[in-house]
C-alpha cells in the first residue's frame, strides 16, 4: 500500500510547539540533544526516570514528597508512578477577566489533587512557575479552588463560556448545558458571577 503524506506542519509551527521548546530546554538544562523526534521518543522509554523527572521540571509540576524513581512498580494493572509523590493540582482553567482600571486581570481556577490544600505556598509556587515559563504578565491576580473544570463532551475546557458567564452573560446563552460532559461544574461559576456582578 502506497502511503501519502497528508499534512506537514510549517517550520514556524514546529519551532513554536511545546515539544520543540521541551527539546531546546533539555539541551540547555540537561545537556541532552536529539537528532529528531524518534531519538527523543526512544530516550523517553529507555530512561524513564530521567524523562519523567524532566517533565516534572519543564512543566513545573507542583507536588509533595521526594521525586526520584519514576516507576516504582511495572506490574500491570496497577503500575506505581512516582512512589511517595503526591500531586497538588489535578486540573486548571485560566480566564482573563478585565477589571475597571486594568488591562488584564487573570484568574486561575485549580482543581486540587486529593489531600492538597490551596495555601500561600502553592499560590506562590504556581506564580513562580508561570512567571518563569510564560512571563510576569501571565501571573494570575487570583487563584481559586474549584471542584471541576467544566468541559465539553469532547473534553475541551470552557474558557470562553466561563469568561462570558463571569462577566455577567446569561449562562443559558453562554453555553448549552447539554453539550457539557460535566454540566454541574458550571454551577460554581454561575454562583460566583451572581455574587460578584449582581
pLDDT digits (tens, 9 = 90+) for 67-107: 888 888 888 888 888 898 888 999 999 999 888 887 788 99
Per-residue pLDDT tens over the stretch 30-59: 999 999 999 999 999 999 999 999 998 998
**Domain ranges (residues) in the chain:** 11-86, 87-197
Which is it for the CA torsion 67, 69, 73, 78, positive or negative? Answer: positive
Give the residue ranges of DSSP H helices in 17-119.
18-25, 37-46, 48-59
The CATH T-level fold of domain 87-197 is: GMP Synthetase; Chain A, domain 3 (3.30.300)
184-197 vs 159-166: helix crossing angle, rounded to 10: 30
* Mean residue pLDDT across the chain: 90
Does the reported pTM lie above 0.85? no
The three-point CA angle 96-102-107 to 5° equals: 30
- Cell triple for residue 42? 526512544
Amino acid at each position: 500500500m502506497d502511503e501519502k503524506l497528508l499534512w506537514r506542519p510549517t517550520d514556524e509551527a514546529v519551532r513554536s510547539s511545546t515539544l520543540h521548546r521541551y527539546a531546546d530546554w533539555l539541551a540547555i538544562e540537561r545537556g541532552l540533544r536529539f537528532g529528531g523526534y524518534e531519538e527523543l521518543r526512544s530516550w523517553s522509554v529507555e530512561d524513564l526516570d530521567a524523562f519523567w523527572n524532566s517533565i516534572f521540571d519543564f512543566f513545573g509540576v507542583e507536588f509533595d514528597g521526594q521525586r526520584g524513581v519514576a516507576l516504582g512498580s511495572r506490574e500491570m494493572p496497577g503500575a506505581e508512578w512516582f512512589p511517595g509523590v503526591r500531586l497538588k493540582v489535578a486540573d486548571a482553567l485560566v480566564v482573563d477577566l478585565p477589571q475597571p482600571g486594568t488591562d488584564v486581570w487573570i484568574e486561575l481556577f485549580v482543581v486540587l489533587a486529593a489531600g492538597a490544600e490551596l495555601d500561600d505556598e502553592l499560590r506562590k509556587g504556581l506564580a513562580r512557575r508561570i512567571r518563569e515559563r510564560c512571563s510576569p504578565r501571565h501571573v494570575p491576580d487570583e487563584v481559586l479552588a474549584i471542584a471541576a473544570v467544566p468541559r465539553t463532551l469532547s473534553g475541551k475546557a470552557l474558557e470562553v463560556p466561563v469568561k462570558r458567564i463571569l462577566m455577567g452573560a446569561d449562562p443559558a446563552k453562554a453555553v448549552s448545558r447539554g453539550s457539557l460532559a460535566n454540566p454541574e461544574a458550571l454551577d460554581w461559576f454561575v454562583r460566583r458571577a451572581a455574587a460578584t456582578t449582581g
